[in-house]
Amino acid sequence: MVLQPNEKIYVKSYFVDTEEDIYTEGCVGGVCCMWSNKDIQVDGRYDTAAEALQAVLKANCFDDEYGAEQMDGYFVFSFLVDVNNYQASKNDIALWKRGKKRLWLASMYITLGIVAERSYFEEVA
C-alpha cells in the first residue's frame, strides 16, 4: 500500500487471548486470559505497517519470530506464553514438549488505520 505524503498509519485496536496448549493434544480449553489496547495503549503515527505492528509487539513484550498472518482484516500473531503471559523461552518450550511445563497459546489480533494529517490552519476545500 502506498500512502499519500500527509498520511500515517496508526493502531486502531488490538486484543490478545490465550488458551492452554498441551503439546500432544493442542489447545484444550476456553480462553484463559485476555487483554487489549484498553489495558496497554499504543499511541503514535507510523510510516509503515511494520513499524506500527512492532510498536504493539514491543509494548506487550513479545518478539516477532514468525511474522503475522493476515486474516479477516486483522494482522494475527501467535506466541507460546507462560502462566504470567511472558513469551516462552526455548528452554520453556523444550520442557513443554516433554510434558514438564504448562504453556498457553497467545493469539494477538491487530487492526491498523490510516489518518491524513494536516495543519490546524490549513484550509479545507
Q: Provide the whole-model pTM.
A: 0.85
In a domain, 4, yes or no: no
83 found inside a domain: yes
Q: What average pLDDT does range 69-73 have in this prediction? A: 88
> Does residue 2 belong to any structural domain of this protein?
no
Residue carrying the nine cell digits 513469551? 87
118 assigned to some structural domain: no
Residue 84 falls within a domain, yes or no? yes
Which of the residue ranges 12-26, 55-69, 103-117 would you say has the lowest mean pLDDT? 55-69
**Per-residue confidence at 125, pLDDT binned at 50, 70, 90?**
low
Q: Say if CB 77 and CB 62 are below 8 A apart.
A: yes
Which string of b and e fits 73-110 if b means at least 16 CB within 10 Å? ebbebebbbeeebebbeeebeebbeeeebebbbbbbbb
Residue with cell 493434544: 25
Q: Is 78 a residue whose pLDDT tops 90? A: yes
Q: How many domains does the chain contain in total?
A: 1
The DSSP string of 74-106 is EEEEEEEE-TTSPBPPHHHHHHHHTTSS-EEEE
What is the arithmetic mean of pLDDT over 92-101?
96
- pLDDT at position 6 over 60: yes
Mean pLDDT within 15-35: 88
User: Does any domain span residue 122?
Assistant: no
- Positive/negative CA dihedral, 74, 75, 80, 81: negative
Residue 9 CB coordination number (10 Å)? 21
Query: Which range marks the domain in which residue 58 is found?
Result: 11-112
What's the confidence (pLDDT) of residue 124? 61
